[in-house]
Amino acid sequence: MKIGFLGLGIMGKPMARNILAGGFPDLYVWNRSPGPAEALAEAGAVAATKEQIGRECDVILTMLPDSPQVKAVMLGPDGIAQYMHAGQVYIDMSSINPVSSREIAEALAKISVEMLDAPVSGGEPKAVDGTLSFMVGGKQEVFDRMKPLLLTMGSSVTRCGEIGAGNTTKLANQIIVACNIQAVAEALTLAQMAGVDPAVVVDAIKGGLAGSTVLNAKAPMMIAGNDQPGFRIDLHIKDLNNALSCAHTVGAPLPMTAEAMEVLQNIRHDGGGSKDHSAMAQYYEKLAGIKIGR
- Angle at which helix 233-250 crosses helix 98-109, to 10 degrees, equals 70
| 13 vs 128: CA distance, rounded Å | 9
CA distances from 55 to 33, 76, 111, 141, 145 (A): 21, 16, 13, 23, 20
| 200 vs 120: CA distance, rounded Å | 34
Q: Which residues are catalytic?
A: 170
Between strands 120-121 and 132-137, the pairing is antiparallel
